[in-house]
Chain A
Amino acid sequence: GQQLNQSPQSMFIQEGEDVSMNCTSSSIFNTWLWYKQDPGEGPVLLIALYKAGELTSNGRLTAQFGITRKDSFLNISASIPSDVGIYFCAGHRGNKLVFGAGTILRVKS
């Protein structure tokens, strides 16, 4: 069953806003990854985090690997319309990735 709690489930953004989402688990993970999925496409890797406490940026994206190894967050600064999609967190443990249920980002009209 689902082992990662990803929140929020969905959110509306207005262009220019900053966005935050996070993932928590009751178990420790060795690596956290964040993916984005555009409609009709497969997920694309955005950021990978390998060490507890690590803070990594990729353009307007910033992600952190929680110090307890049980959580991670993703921030998007100054959002733009093409940021819409589904964002997944994934934790690596052993020989598998475990995925969160996803955060759906939509544009406010």
Chain B
Amino acid sequence: SQKIEQNSEALNIQEGKTATLTCNYTNYSPAYLQWYRQDPGRGPVFLLLIRENEKEKRKERLKVTFDTTLKQSLFHITASQPADSATYLCALQKYNQGGKLIFGQGTELSVKP
């Protein structure tokens, strides 16, 4: 069965450092991979989408890579700030499955001042 795994442990880093979160998947061939941010008690918020034929995507301090050979995506936050503390979710989507997103369990990031 298809499976998505994100860093199971919470990630604690110092302000100003780069946070790197991992999303690995098996038994799935996504056309798109999305990253969302979720704060406690709130719904997820879309951050970035990357297509299967793209290696890397950037948006301000965020960078996402997508390696379909390794079946892995890395999500980087550079110059991290305490306000970046949240849970980050990756989600996979196939081209012909409409809006069906398959989510990972999320990685909790804590950025200490």
Q: Do A and B come from one complex?
A: no
> What is B's interface to A at a CB cutoff of 8 Å?
none
